[in-house]
Homo-oligomer: A and B are copies of this chain.
Amino acid sequence: MPRQQFRFCHRLRVRWAEVDRQDIVFNGHYLTYFDVGMTEYCRAAGIPYPEGFTEAGTDLFAVATRLDYHGSATFDDLLDVCVRIARIGHSSIRFEFEIHRDQAHLVSGELVYVNADPATREAVRVPEFVREAVRRFEGRDPSGRD
C-alpha cells in the first residue's frame, strides 16, 4: 500500500533509550510509535482517545497486532508514523500503520482493537459517532463485518 493512501501521519524523533546495541530501534518500541500514532489520529479525527470511548462507557483493548520490518531506524531519526482506520466491524477497529524515514519505508503493521466494557471485557458495538467521525475523516465508509 503506497504512503499516499494515508491521510494522516505523525512525525516523531527516535530517542536514545529506544536504540539498542545493534544501533537500531528495539523491535518492541515500534508498538509504542503505533500507539502514539493512534492517539494523534484519534485527536485529528475528532474522537480523542480515551475520552471519546470512555465517556460512552467502553474502552479499546488490543487483540492482535502484526509488524513487518523492512528497514531499521536509529537514534535521532525523524520518522513519519502514518495511520488509518482500515475497518470498523461490529465491535472491532482495525488500524493500519506505516513508518517512513523520508523515502525509506521502514515498517508496516496493523493493530486490531476490540471496543469493550472495561469491567466485564465484553465486546460492545462501536458507537455510531465513532463510525461517523472516521467516515468524515477518511472520506470513505470504514464499516464492515469483523
Contact = CB atoms under 8 A, between A and B. Distances in A.
A118 interface: yes
A68 interface: yes
Nearest to A108: B64
Interface in A1-23: 15-17, 19-23
A62 interface: yes
A103 interface: no
Given A35-B16, A36-B15, A75-B21, A63 B69 contact: yes
Q: Main SS of chain A's interface residues? A: mixed
Contacts of A125: none
A39 interface: yes
Nearest to A75: B21
Nearest to A28: B31
A72 interface: yes
Contact of A39 (B16, B36, B39, B65): B16
27 contacts: A15-B35, A16-B35, A16-B39, A17-B26, A20-B21, A21-B21, A21-B75, A22-B59, A22-B61, A27-B35, A27-B111, A28-B31, A28-B32, A28-B34, A28-B35, A39-B76, A61-B72, A62-B69, A63-B69, A64-B66, A64-B68, A64-B69, A65-B65, A65-B66, A65-B67, A65-B69, A66-B66
